[in-house]
A and B are shown apart, each in its own frame.
Chain A
Amino acid sequence: MMNTNLHTRKDQSTAEGAGGQASYGRFKQSGVDTTHGAILYLESISVIFDGFKALNDLSLDIGVGELRCIIGPNGAGKTTMMDVITGKTKPTSGSAYFGQSIDLTKMHEAQIADVGIGRKFQRPTVFEQHTVFENLELAMKMNKRVRPTLFARLTGTQKDKIAETLELLRLTQEYQRPAGLLSHGQKQWLEIGMLLMQEPLLLLLDEPVAGMTDAETERTGELLNDLRGKHSLMVVEHDMDFVNQIAQDGKVTVLCEGSVLAEGTMAQVQNDERVIEVYLGR
């Protein structure tokens, strides 16, 4: 399943410009079939650790280009959900599809990253010994197998792309610094930048503003709003002001005890009795 998808994608890139294949070719171009408007489907996912239900019959889908905020009290299963999507944890039952046809539960982390799901961790994880530039270079979308990596040379367009991303992250001045020397906020941005370099279709962001100053939080909000529409985003966050800033009229999903408690605009969710009870009212 997985392999056929990768192959069609590769074949497609070589067949490009050769005419032929017509509409079929365009339809498979990204390797992800989003004809039904959704990029991610989670269908009755359960994850049980030693009898504890981290996720309990969770169903959720994310539309193409949507920015979805996920909120919920501690232990609601937000991080576990991301683990399932990115292949770190296998669900006990249920299914997870990327587009119409890619079964995420059968793939491992690198394959999932390769089909276009990028993830930012709660704690910023960048390669501290590598420079900012090298971090972005490593993340850049390209063939990431051994031989092409050994002989890889940066092309002009690739350098431009890194320069653009540096600009967007406001890290141009720091591009030669080891990433370990950046401030906490800058590391978070660098990690978001690394995700962008992967050109993912779906970005998962786990508490992107945790530990940031107000100014940094504001700036991150702007950054995410820039990305709205270009990528599909799923943002897990505790900071309500920040969720307000980025959710706008988009949907917010409230998780509780491993399943969806409520879904709607921020205003709707904030007025939902059950939500107030378990989360906001506290």
Chain B
Amino acid sequence: MNSLSNNLQPRSMGPLFSAKAWTAIILVTAVFACLPILNLSFAPGHTLHISAYTIGLIGKFTCYAMAALALDLVWGYAGILSLGHGLFFALGGYGMGMYLMRAGKSSPDIVPDFMTFLSWKAYPWFWSFTEHFWYAMLLVLLVPGLLAFIFGYFAFRSRIKGVYFSIITQALTFAAMLLFFRNETGFGGNNGFTDFKRILGFDITSPQTRAALYWLSLGALLAALILGRAITQSKLGRVLTAIRDAESRLRFLGYEPLGFKLFVWTVSAMICGVAGALYVPQVGIINPGEMSTENSIEMVIWVATGGRGTLIGPIVGAGVINGLKTWFTSALPEFWLYALGLIFVLVTLFLPQGIVGLIRRLGRREKALS
């Protein structure tokens, strides 16, 4: 019995990644990490030079990839489809934006123009301490986390599931967008925050700062991937997929799904918040448009295209779809939404496991042939 039980291993309980996967992850990360060096060390015009535009673009995609990964944790594993992850992304962005607005001023107590127009003489209470970078970073984690926790607690406790849950997340995001559009809310109304100048004393537009932000985003994405993998490889990960497949069965085994859903939902919102916070200094603007319905739905398409329940898939999906979007919006701008819709339909019909699923299938076929 002992020798038998020693050989028993749950399929999903090995090391975090296989040696092969680790090598691939490290290689890909290293390649992407080298890009800003090429930007900094070669003059424009040199064959090895990479434009600042490309660096900015990839940095932006990295943040999108992180948001997609966060969405995959709840959708791909726990079966909770959120159509409101744009909200958590935007909240993280606003947290960072508050700091950047004050860091750029000669004194952090000078109010921005939109407050002057409201004839506010000083920052309102909810802006307190946001001139401190670390406090703002705390907000980036806690505000999306807390909102997700409270919203999730009531939704999951009421056993709201499936499409009903998705619609409510959408409604929540829409309500937040309307709130942020109001000038009196104190977040710059429809213009949001822009015209950032400095971050931690560094010039935000300098190539070095941009490279640092790029590396930070890449590092954060890698950390999110490892965290997500650790969660989904644990027994808790197996409980999450069991919730997705047969929630009531799990209840009769003595698990209370509420806590598990709440955990992964909150972690996901916080990852998404960090992604938003890294996104804002790189694109230089945050406004309520980030909370629009389309943004959240696009995230779902990234995940579906890349392959849900794979963690790597959403990263690939975010890169591929946004790459296409960049090309389309410069070459054939009026056709982008048709193309996006078509991609989604095709993926749903022919690639239910997404790009990663397709690669796995081809890999298996090759193995079977050889």
Whether B259 pairs with A146 at a CB distance below 8 angstroms is yes
> Are A109 and B251 also in contact (CB < 8 A) when A131-B11, A149-B236 are?
yes
A134 within 8 A of B: yes
Stretch in contact with the other chain, from B2-10, B40-48, B128-136? B2-10
Whether B1 pairs with A163 at a CB distance below 8 angstroms is yes
Measured between beta carbons, the chain A residues less than 8 angstroms from B256 are: 108, 110, 144-145
Measured between beta carbons, the chain B residues less than 8 angstroms from A166 are: 8
CA distance A119 to B11 in the complex (A): 26
Measured between beta carbons, the chain B residues less than 8 angstroms from A167 are: 1
Least CB separation from B241: chain A residue: A129
Stretch in contact with the other chain, from B100-108, B195-203, B242-250? B242-250
Whether B254 pairs with A110 at a CB distance below 8 angstroms is yes
**Interface-centre pick from A118, A133, A149 (highest chain B CB count, 10 A):** A149
Number of residue pairs spanning A and B whose beta carbons lie under 8 angstroms apart? 106
B window 219-243: CB within 8 A of A: 231, 234-236, 238-239, 241-242
A139 within 8 A of B: yes
Whether A125 pairs with B249 at a CB distance below 8 angstroms is yes
CA distance A102 to B250 in the complex (A): 22
Whether B8 pairs with A133 at a CB distance below 8 angstroms is yes
**Interface-centre pick from A119, A128, A139 (highest chain B CB count, 10 A):** A139
Stretch in contact with the other chain, from A27-35, A152-160, A232-240? A152-160
**Interface-centre pick from B5, B8, B242, B253 (highest chain A CB count, 10 A):** B253
Measured between beta carbons, the chain A residues less than 8 angstroms from B1 are: 160, 163-164, 167
CA distance A175 to B6 in the complex (A): 13
CA distance A114 to B256 in the complex (A): 10
CA distance A118 to B251 in the complex (A): 11
Measured between beta carbons, the chain B residues less than 8 angstroms from A133 are: 8-11
Whether B241 pairs with A130 at a CB distance below 8 angstroms is yes
CA distance A121 to B253 in the complex (A): 12
Whether A198 pairs with B238 at a CB distance below 8 angstroms is no
B255 within 8 A of A: yes
- 1/0 contact string of A126-152 vs chain B (CB within 8 Å): 111111011001110000111001111
Interface residues on B, range: 20 to 34
- 1/0 contact string of A160-189 vs chain B (CB within 8 Å): 101110110000100110000000000000
Measured between beta carbons, the chain B residues less than 8 angstroms from A125 are: 246, 249
**Interface-centre pick from B12, B235, B238 (highest chain A CB count, 10 A):** B235
Whether A134 pairs with B5 at a CB distance below 8 angstroms is no
Whether B11 pairs with A163 at a CB distance below 8 angstroms is no
CA distance A130 to B252 in the complex (A): 17
A212 within 8 A of B: no
A56 within 8 A of B: no
Measured between beta carbons, the chain B residues less than 8 angstroms from A134 are: 10-12, 238
Whether A163 pairs with B251 at a CB distance below 8 angstroms is no
Whether A150 pairs with B235 at a CB distance below 8 angstroms is yes
**Interface-centre pick from B4, B12, B241 (highest chain A CB count, 10 A):** B4
> Are A194 and B253 also in contact (CB < 8 A) when A127-B242, A160-B2, A164-B1 are?
yes
B260 within 8 A of A: yes
The smallest C-beta distance from B156 to any residue of chain A, in angstroms, reads 13
B263 within 8 A of A: yes
A86 within 8 A of B: yes
> Are A163 and B5 also in contact (CB < 8 A) when A131-B10, A176-B11 are?
yes
- From A109, A156, A172, give the contact of B4 (CB < 8 A): A172
> Are A144 and B5 also in contact (CB < 8 A) when A125-B246, A127-B242, A134-B238 are?
no
A113 within 8 A of B: yes
The 8 A-B pairs with the shortest beta carbon distances in the complex, nearest first, are A113-B254, A163-B5, A109-B251, A152-B235, A159-B5, A146-B259, A150-B236, A110-B256
23 A-B residue pairs with Cβ-Cβ distance under 8 Å, sorted by A, are A109-B248, A110-B254, A113-B254, A127-B249, A129-B241, A130-B245, A134-B11, A134-B12, A137-B10, A137-B235, A138-B235, A150-B231, A150-B234, A150-B235, A151-B234, A152-B235, A160-B1, A162-B5, A162-B8, A163-B4, A175-B8, A176-B11, A198-B254
6 additional contacts, CB 8 Å, given A145-B256, A150-B263? A125-B249, A126-B249, A127-B246, A131-B10, A138-B239, A163-B8
